[in-house]
Structure 1
């Protein structure tokens, strides 16, 4: 490809509304353009990168015996009703009607549709099966942001395993885990596998692959002393035991006019946050529920959802709280409350001499023994782990990292196959329900995360495996000998299967060099009249900025060797 023929609408200034590094650079370098919030057009350079990412993923999926499908992006509502997820998915699902009035959905994911195909399986002899596709997904994100990282339309590689038993699921899960590790290593993305919540997908276990990035919206907890890593929605820590002083035989009321927060009670009455029981009120599947935490701890809503197996969870409205408890937020507590479910965080187990609201505005209780004075319906790990807390495995201080999710693998079990009526005959002739796994990678998000991980002040630093071009041949000036030499190099590189572009534009050297650096091509061969007269050209590595003078006759072999070595590393 000649640069003069390629559509690369680069920008000289950073876009004002780009909030992530990848968003800013992909716009500046002419890779993407926004159509509307959450919807992007991929321009030729991005299409080339995307195709290389897809091919890496395809190779690794085929390597574990998966078979490629292509399923519809529009689904009939009845399949989602059967699985029970038509309502669970809520407003994030794009819904529409056809001309006959039938309810349809744009696919957010394809568990239901692949499971419908699996209904044609008849015998254990046909198992295991692993099926995958690259397909557009649609999610009505309320706040699309960060360019390709959080969008409403994107490509996902989603795969699904069907196995006869749990051992088969474990094998399929492990094969995908290994494949994902290889995929992200080949793509040059520093992906961290972490324990995660299964969320609306359901199932017994899941692992997320997370890329560290300031643009991310997920926090993960990692241990530098061992292999422990988990999404904050799943993470735990080994908090030190707290020894409370003995308290009174029963809670004592005391007036706290004007106290509305944990900080107010600490400042005005000397009860440190860790000595307080914080009472949150949630509506869980239409049931008002009290959630108790230590005053200095934050609730992770996903832990609440997972603990209760809830479909819908929201904070209660002030009027709902007053009607149920007789007080406004700031004076709430669970002592003496009956008729409402109470869920308490494990960090409160065994605590005494605590303070909490008395369910009377401007009044609190002190001397509360949580297990004596409150009867929680359930104990659970509900709190958010913070940096510095001890690792649950080895006790080392934990770290917290902001990340972007780029892959997620689930052990689904029989949730979908059972609901949708899939069964096969086992070796004894009995009908059994196949066990499923589900495994996803966001393709455009992987593209963006590669930029998040590989860039500098001049632009992008694509790894060779996914770069739109591996080498740029840049000819300086309009000297016929230089132009001819540049064209020869370009054609010889192509013959050697090196993905090259020739910058044949009538532009100043500075413009050409800046564009090659901005778009992130790994190697640049500069052909100029002075070097050519000496029989040499200059080879520059984008990542290091180092340049090497190479004899003209040896440069193709030299660059090909660089590309092969970089691809193998």
Structure 2
């Protein structure tokens, strides 16, 4: 991608309405633009990050055995009336009427919709277990939307819904999602900690929030220091018995807790850590809450009809964009993990129009593209300092800077955004460095 032909409306000044780092940096980096309170347009750079996050989420859901569908944003009120949640959900639900005066709603979640799909097609326990998921826009009419996409009204979410014959089967599905979430966030360069949580309006009696560690997080999280190790998920297989793993990390080993009581904490003081955290995922087991109310039953091995046991599992895909920025930025801008960066490497031509710089920059760009390194070339007629500042602001993991002085000596400058380390090397060495680690 040539930056001279790209739509990247970066801002020099921080907008006054932006109160937290992710909101400030997403606006300054030209990733989003506010449409109305809590609702944003996603501009090209932001959309690339959003899509990369969604791809990782999708891949790990598929590996866990979940099947992707796509449910509508607008849902009929009748199915919510069946479950009993239509009146209970409150003012956060956006209620509308169609031209035939039928009650509709912009879905804040999809338990009713997916239960309706299930009951329309599944009759026997032999079709179980089943887990259906989608990645779809949702709307919750927050009374005070703030912090940009971190607490907006419209948001992109992955939600999955499991169906099992009994509580034991549902627990197996729950454990798979538990592990899937840890794997998902690890791939994004995040340390995610599961914490027992209230079920809220979703319902149920077993629930975990997944908290990512960030200095600017919403609340304190207490946890065992071993959660900071990178190898917690090594050798974990979805087909294995995951119960011992989940038990270990939800009892003594992890025991994340935002209401810390030293008298009851099972973690020794020497092993206890506390940092700030941000919720980016939530999983629930709620048994037959929806299936019993909506008649989602199957015939069991004995031929008798029984309501299926269900769980739901959400990841805030758009919220993750902000969460990653909160966890990874500095005073210059965003520091994207390689796996979700909008581009893998930026080739910065400091002197467009100079034949040697132009040729070297284009050659680097072509070779990086051929190697699958997802490059961006900054070929704008702009001051060198402004170009380098823009690359730091938007957080490209690698920068290869091509300038007349370097070309005279046969070298380019390679910068690693995460560490700030720079090295002058040949173009061939630059390609090896970047492509080996991208």
Fold conserved (TM > 0.5)?
A: yes
Contact kept, 8 Å, 1:228 with 1:393, in 2: the verdict is no
1:274 alignment counterpart: none
1:426 alignment counterpart: 300
1:302 alignment counterpart: none
1:63 alignment counterpart: 63
Deviation readout 1:315-371 (Å, 9 max, x if unpaired): xxxxxxxxxxxxxxxxxxxxxxxxxxxxxxxxxxxxxxxxxxxxxxxxxxxxxxxxx
C-alpha displacement at 1:49, in angstroms? 0.3
Measured in 2, the distance between the counterparts of 1:546 and 1:215 equals: 25
Report whether the alignment pairs 1:390 with 2:259. no
Report whether the alignment pairs 1:227 with 2:253. yes
CA gap 1:557/1:394 in 2 versus in 1, 3 angstroms: closer
Deviation readout 1:161-194 (Å, 9 max, x if unpaired): 1111212111111111111001111111222110
Report whether the alignment pairs 1:104 with 2:130. no
CA gap 1:388/1:128 in 2 versus in 1, 3 angstroms: closer
2:88 alignment counterpart: 88
2:249 alignment counterpart: none
2:155 alignment counterpart: 154
1:114 alignment counterpart: 114
**2:310 alignment partner, one of 436, 447, 459:** 436
Contact kept, 8 Å, 1:388 with 1:399, in 2: the verdict is no
C-alpha displacement at 1:559, in angstroms? 1.2
Report whether the alignment pairs 1:456 with 2:316. no
> Tell me, what secondary structure is at the counterpart of 2:87?
helix
Alignment length (residue pairs): 410
* TM-score of the pair, normalised by structure 1: 0.69
Unaligned ranges ≥5, structure 1: 233-384, 564-569
> Tell me, what secondary structure is at the counterpart of 1:184?
helix
Report whether the alignment pairs 1:445 with 2:319. yes
C-alpha displacement at 1:215, in angstroms? 5.1
C-alpha displacement at 1:11, in angstroms? 1.1
2:172 alignment counterpart: 171
CA gap 1:224/1:481 in 2 versus in 1, 3 angstroms: closer
2:233 alignment counterpart: none
Measured in 2, the distance between the counterparts of 1:547 and 1:424 equals: 62
C-alpha displacement at 1:401, in angstroms? 5.0
Contact kept, 8 Å, 2:217 with 2:326, in 1: the verdict is no
Measured in 1, the distance between the counterparts of 2:78 and 2:114 equals: 15
Contact kept, 8 Å, 1:121 with 1:424, in 2: the verdict is yes
C-alpha displacement at 1:534, in angstroms? 2.5
C-alpha displacement at 1:544, in angstroms? 1.0
Deviation readout 1:32-76 (Å, 9 max, x if unpaired): 111111001111000000010000011100101111100011111
Measured in 1, the distance between the counterparts of 2:216 and 2:80 equals: 33
> Tell me, what secondary structure is at the counterpart of 1:27?
helix
> Tell me, what secondary structure is at the counterpart of 1:490?
helix
**1:559 alignment partner, one of 429, 434, 438:** 434
C-alpha displacement at 1:405, in angstroms? 1.3
* TM-score of the pair, normalised by structure 2: 0.90
Contact kept, 8 Å, 2:208 with 2:284, in 1: the verdict is yes
Larger Rg: 1 or 2?
1
Contact kept, 8 Å, 2:350 with 2:401, in 1: the verdict is yes
Contact kept, 8 Å, 2:77 with 2:105, in 1: the verdict is yes
C-alpha displacement at 1:537, in angstroms? 1.4
Measured in 1, the distance between the counterparts of 2:436 and 2:424 equals: 15
Measured in 2, the distance between the counterparts of 1:495 and 1:468 equals: 17
Deviation readout 1:65-117 (Å, 9 max, x if unpaired): 11110001111111111111111110110011112221111100000000001
C-alpha displacement at 1:393, in angstroms? 2.8
**1:481 alignment partner, one of 356, 363, 369:** 356
Greater shift, 456-465 or 206-215, is seen at 206-215
1:187 alignment counterpart: 188
Measured in 2, the distance between the counterparts of 1:485 and 1:3 equals: 16
Spell out the pairing of 1:117-266 with structure 2 (5 A cutoff).
117-119=117-119, 120-213=121-214, 216-218=217-219, 220-222=221-223, 226-230=252-256, 232=258
Unaligned ranges ≥5, structure 2: 227-251
Measured in 1, the distance between the counterparts of 2:220 and 2:150 equals: 15
C-alpha displacement at 1:403, in angstroms? 2.8
C-alpha displacement at 1:430, in angstroms? 1.7
Measured in 1, the distance between the counterparts of 2:430 and 2:317 equals: 34
Contact kept, 8 Å, 1:192 with 1:211, in 2: the verdict is yes
C-alpha displacement at 1:218, in angstroms? 4.8
Report whether the alignment pairs 1:500 with 2:375. yes
> Tell me, what secondary structure is at the counterpart of 1:87?
coil
Greater shift, 528-537 or 188-197, is seen at 528-537
CA gap 1:482/1:77 in 2 versus in 1, 3 angstroms: same
> Tell me, what secondary structure is at the counterpart of 1:137?
strand
Contact kept, 8 Å, 1:390 with 1:396, in 2: the verdict is no
1:359 alignment counterpart: none
Contact kept, 8 Å, 1:154 with 1:444, in 2: the verdict is yes
Output the aligned Cα RMSD. Answer: 1.8
CA gap 1:532/1:400 in 2 versus in 1, 3 angstroms: closer
CA gap 1:451/1:394 in 2 versus in 1, 3 angstroms: closer
Contact kept, 8 Å, 2:216 with 2:327, in 1: the verdict is no
Report whether the alignment pairs 1:48 with 2:48. yes
Measured in 1, the distance between the counterparts of 2:358 and 2:255 equals: 54
2:244 alignment counterpart: none
Contact kept, 8 Å, 1:220 with 1:229, in 2: the verdict is no
